[in-house]
Each structure stands twice: as C-alpha cells, then as structure tokens.
C-alpha cells in the first residue's frame, strides 16, 4: 500500500559570487532565465512544491530554497543562521571559472559545521558555455568523491539543462537520509 507524506525541506544554495545561484533558483521555480546580473543582498527565500515517488511511497515536498550572497566574508558572518536546520545543499560552481571549484570546499565545510553531514549536490553551472569551460565533470566528481552523500550534475540556468533533475535528486537524497535516520 502506498503511503503519502508531506515534507518541508530547507535547501541552501551556496558558492562564490556570480556562479548562478539566483538564476538556478529562478529557473527551478519559474522556469525562466534573465541574464542581467543582480548581486544578492543578504538572503532570499523562495519555495516550490514538487511531487516524488520513492520506494513505493508518494511525497508532497515543499522545498524552501535559501539563496545567499556569494562573497566569502559574508559566509562567516551569516553561516550560523543560513545553514541552521538545513536539510541539504546545492553547492554551485561556475564551470568557466576554476577558482569557484577551489573555494567550494570551504563553503561545504561551513555547511557541515552548522547542519551536519546533510546531502549535497555539487553543480557545475553554465554548462551551456562549454567552449569556455575550465572545470570538467571529472573535476566535479573528484571533489564529490571525498564528501559523503554528495552527487554531481552539470547545469545551465540559461537553457534549463539539469536544473530540475538536480533539485529532485537532492530531495531524493534527503528523503532517503531522513528515512534511514528514522529507522
């Protein structure tokens, strides 16, 4: 017999400046893209409801997505409140800027320090700019291999490639993690 669950999840997006965190959320929530760049000031929270069928059960999931400014100085200032009670995270790097991959480990460590070892998806965003790529899928997989409960996905907020799948895969990882803790 299929069981039905209603779940509310706090999802934090994090990574350096101008990696596309806000654009990914906009693509996920409204399926639109705007290439004008506006720096996120502080934190912005957006929600979207998704339906998942997992291991014979149905889940009605309200995903509360938290978007934070990417400047590293603000990470230390805001990390306690930003990552507090997070269920999972989307670690975003810009595939056209190698430095964004080099700093993502610090962001992940900050999240783990506050929220524990929650599931994470490491996203290589701006995959539509493959001619300018400095980060490969192999680079992302190498970083993810050392971090428990971490998946990898190439995304493009501009074209929509991999965006919906990334959020859904993170939700699946979180549900599985919550179910294993409940046993």
Give the tens place of pLDDT for each residue, 29-71: 999 997 765 555 556 789 999 999 999 999 999 999 998 765 5
- What number of residues does the chain have? 183
The rounded percent of the chain whose pLDDT value lies above 70 is 90
Q: pLDDT value at position 45?
A: 85
Looking only at the bridges linking them, the beta strands covering 57-68 and 120-125 are: unpaired
Tokens 């596309």 found at: 20
* Residue owning tokens 């990882």: 173
Residue 180, CB-side half-sphere exposure with 13 Å CA sphere: 8
User: What is the Cα–Cα distance from 5 to 8, expressed in whole angstroms?
Assistant: 10
Pick the CATH number of 4-182 from 3.60.40.10, 1.10.620.20, 3.40.50.300, 2.40.50.140: 3.40.50.300
Rounded CA gap, 144 and 154, in Å? 13
For residue 44, the model assigns a pLDDT of 77
Strand partners for 152: 122
**Mean pLDDT to the nearest integer, 135-145:** 97
Query: CA 5 to CA 35: how far, in whole Å?
Result: 37
Q: What is the largest CA-CA distance in the chain?
A: 50
Residue-wise pLDDT for 67-122, tens only, equals 876 555 555 656 778 899 999 999 999 999 999 999 999 899 989 999 999 999 99
Residue 168 has pLDDT above 80, yes or no: yes
């Amino acid at each position: 017999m299929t069981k039905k669950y209603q779940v509310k999840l706090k999802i934090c997006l994090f990574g350096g400046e101008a990696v596309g965190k806000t654009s990914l959320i906009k693509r996920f929530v409204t399926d639109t893209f705007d290439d004008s760049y506006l720096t996120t000031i502080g934190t912005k929270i957006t929600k979207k409801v998704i339906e998942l069928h997992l291991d014979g059960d149905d889940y009605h999931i309200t995903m509360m997505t938290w978007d934070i400014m990417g400047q590293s100085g603000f990470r230390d200032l805001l990390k306690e409140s930003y990552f507090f009670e997070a269920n999972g995270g989307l670690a975003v790097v810009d595939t056209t800027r190698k430095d964004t991959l080099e700093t993502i480990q610090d962001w992940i460590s900050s999240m783990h320090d506050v929220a524990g070892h929650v599931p994470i998806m490491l996203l290589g965003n701006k995959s539509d700019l493959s001619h300018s790529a400095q980060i490969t899928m192999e680079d992302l997989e190498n970083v993810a291999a050392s971090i428990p409960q971490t998946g990898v996905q190439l995304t493009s907020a501009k074209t929509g490639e991999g965006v919906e799948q990334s959020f859904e895969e993170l939700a699946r990882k979180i549900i599985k993690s919550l179910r294993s803790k409940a046993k």
